[in-house]
A and B are shown apart, each in its own frame.
Chain A
Amino acid sequence: MTEIRRRDPRREWVARNRLHPEHASVLAALGDIGGRGAASEWLGPQGVVRRNPHAVGFIGPNGVRRIDRSGAQQGGEAPGGTRQAVKDDRRRVEIPEPAFLVAVVPDMAGGRLSGHDKDLLGLARRLADADPERPGAVLAVIFGQHKGEGGGEMKEQAFGEAGIDRVLHLEDDAYAGFAPEARLAALSAVEREWAPRHWLLPDSPLGGADLGRRLAARLGERPATGVWQLEADAGSPLGWRCTARGAAESLDILRPLPRVALALAECAEPVDETRHAAEPLALGSELPALLSRVEDLGQVAVDPAGVALAEAEFILSGGNGVKDWDGFHHAARMLGATEGASRVAVDDGHMARDRQVGATGTWVTARVYLAVGISGAIQHLQGIQGCDKVVAINMDSGCDMIKRADLAVIGDSAPVLEALVALVEQAREEKRDAA
């Protein structure tokens, strides 16, 4: 192939003339010669780079040309093209022959890995990956059901993304409810079979704090409780030093990391750059049946009005849009929800001041927050940041609460609440008839 560049004056003329009907196709052809899909830049006949500023960038969703100069967007996204699926670029890590094991017992509150559990797994990864020559594996001991994102493959994926190499899933009725003796027996069996180098548990009231202390007492180890910081230290027996909270949060204890550690939330960053195998493991031997001295009679129904607003699980909150307050209170009673209110409802005297949700009232952490007739002032939205699911019933379809809500019903609140109460009553009647 010759080095001499041939000119096509007509094509160049068309390329310069934006109004020419063949302009776009000629530009594309010139771009192809340049070896790129985009025609914003090509090498001219004299070896000079020619630019077409009109071909730079892409047409944004509103039909306006957008130019991204960071280099990520290289001019040629197909106009009106669908958004590409986010590429999963996490590194896959498999540790076939680990040098040691780090055992983690997550809380799995509600059958999912909580934020605290993920932090703890991040801490476990730090311990396991400290020496890249001889990496350890993170073993998670899971009691009870896993509800994450369906069963099978998805479950393994959720565990793997949290940084788990091996999973021991113990699903048995014996571990349900308050069963510290059965769980402790299972953990003792893990200790006998694999002898993990580290045991990590969350220092949380959801069960981790209790189980961890029981385990430490059983293993005869002196655990570090309330651990929130970890640093490498060659002088310690396990090669790590930790900072632990003591004396009602008023002291920091600097000590060598023991085998059993109970860590606070945010003790480490959760894993997000790697994906792990989460291979299932099984205990080699059957656990002996043991006679429990503690019998669980199940949860007790508590009066929802007596539950503190900050820790209520299910809140029915009313605002300016509620006109029928008797119906609102009736609905709260029937649904078994704790009552909350927006500032306007409190100022108007419909609700007590201690029921106010928001920046000036209470910051709530409910699992379900049912907002009735609340438009969603920013102070109110701040107060419900910690809620998992938000349901809104509102007349105004453009308000901020609807944008925040996971489920929004547009309409007058009173008939919707009435219908909801009727449905709940009907379900209860059917249950009673069946029983």
Chain B
Amino acid sequence: MQPEKSMAPALAVTVLVSVGRHPLTGRRRRADRDARGVELACSAPGAKVSLLHAGVLDEASEAALRDYLGMGFEALTLIEQAPGADVLPALAERLEAAAPQLVIAGERAEQGEGSGLLPYLLAERLGWPLVNGLAAVEGVEDGIATLLQALPRGQRRRLRVRLPAILTVDAAAPAARQSAFGPARRGRLEVAEAPVVEDPALAEWQMVPARKRPKRLKIVKAASARERFKAAAAKAEGGGGQVLADATPEQGAEAILKLLREEGVLTR
């Protein structure tokens, strides 16, 4: 879909997309992480992106899947599966046959079990390396991709991974582009057949709407009333901090610098 400017052979990227669920209304939509994955794939240099989905084909999910087509795609491959089926074998066979260089998936599904296990099982089955928490694809050269991995606290880590590889997308990846209505209507859903593998364990589990988790109480183990009172009346204080009252600015700065070094927040 992207105009290919480079001379290098196109990089075949498959994005696994799923049907998401709006957190407030519960309506079907394009899944947020998957859409970010599509955006990442489109922005990778020299990428030839194809979309793949395995699941149920009905009216609601079709509308959601067309949101991905509206991001500028002509077609989306849909492997039709029964509700509650195990989509892993169908996807693995499809990817083995198509042999893309990169497979990008969202971190977790927004519906069903949502365990985020599918990319790991695919990687184990195909024997490909997996990188989680992707924030950007910086470049691909000679079958080695340079990636930026998102870490907690807004930090980033640069990785090099040998292709083919599976990548999962973090929330820190660039936000997905808007879905355009016209291309979404015109795009094709290419339905492929695959044998359906039942998932008996999932059917046995009991699924209920999420309960609010109990808030942890501050439990005070005090033997005497005095200790209990002190614990209840205590203000949130660090307590026992070091105070430099009559220090010159230089001495104060040195003490602060020592603490910063100990905590390791001074980089470079």
Which residues from chain A sit less than 8 Å from chain B, CB to CB? Answer: 68-73, 110, 177-178, 180-181, 205-206, 209-210, 213-214, 216-218, 222-223, 225-226, 228, 245-255, 266, 269, 272, 293-302, 306-308, 311-314, 335-337, 367-368, 370, 381, 385, 388-391, 393, 397, 402-412, 415-420, 422-424, 427-428
Q: Give the total of B residues in contact with A, Cβ under 8 Å.
A: 83
Q: Is the CB of A246 within 8 A of B213?
A: no
Shortest Cβ gap from B224 to chain A (Å): 4
Q: Which residue of A lies closest to B215 (CB)?
A: A266
Q: Which residue of A lies closest to B236 (CB)?
A: A385
Q: Which residue of B lies closest to A391 (CB)?
A: B256
Task: Please list 8 pairs of residues, one from A and one from B, whose beta carbons are closer than 8 Å in the complex, sorted by A's number.
Answer: A218-B124, A247-B111, A294-B131, A299-B156, A409-B247, A410-B243, A410-B245, A419-B250
Q: Which of A225, A299, A403, A406 contacts B242 (CB 8 A)?
A: A406
**CA of A337 to CA of B263, assembled, Å:** 13
B21 lies within 8 A of chain A by Cβ: yes
**CA of A339 to CA of B216, assembled, Å:** 32
Using A210-B132, A213-B117 as known contacts, say yes or no to A72 and B208 having CB atoms under 8 A apart. no
Q: Is the CB of A225 within 8 A of B117?
A: yes
Which residues from chain B sit less than 8 Å from chain A, CB to CB? Answer: 21, 23, 26, 108-117, 120-121, 123-124, 129-133, 146, 148-149, 151-162, 165, 201, 204-211, 213, 216, 219, 221, 223-227, 235-238, 241-247, 249-250, 252-257, 259-260, 263-268
Q: Is the CB of B210 within 8 A of A423?
A: no
Q: Which residue of B lies closest to A387 (CB)?
A: B238
Collect the chain B residues with CB atoms within 8 Å of residue A390's CB. 238, 241
Shortest Cβ gap from B78 to chain A (Å): 21
**CA of A229 to CA of B151, assembled, Å:** 27
Q: Is the CB of A254 within 8 A of B242?
A: no
Shortest Cβ gap from B259 to chain A (Å): 5
Collect the chain A residues with CB atoms within 8 Å of residue B155's CB. 299-300, 302, 313
Q: Which residue of B lies closest to A294 (CB)?
A: B161
Q: Is the CB of A247 within 8 A of B117?
A: no
Q: Is the CB of A293 within 8 A of B209?
A: no
What is the number of contacts between chain A and chain B, taking CB atoms within 8 Å?
Answer: 248
Q: Which residue of A lies closest to B242 (CB)?
A: A407
Q: A266-B216, A406-B242 are in contact. List 16 more A-B contacts (CB 8 A).
A: A72-B226, A72-B227, A73-B226, A213-B115, A214-B130, A217-B117, A246-B207, A247-B21, A248-B21, A250-B21, A253-B205, A266-B213, A297-B159, A314-B265, A410-B246, A420-B253
Collect the chain A residues with CB atoms within 8 Å of residue B154's CB. 302, 306-308, 311-313
Q: Is the CB of A250 within 8 A of B210?
A: yes
**CA of A100 to CA of B117, assembled, Å:** 27
**CA of A420 to CA of B256, assembled, Å:** 8
Shortest Cβ gap from B260 to chain A (Å): 6
Collect the chain B residues with CB atoms within 8 Å of residue A405's CB. 238, 241, 243
Q: Is the CB of A205 within 8 A of B129?
A: no
Collect the chain B residues with CB atoms within 8 Å of residue A393's CB. 252, 256
Shortest Cβ gap from B157 to chain A (Å): 5
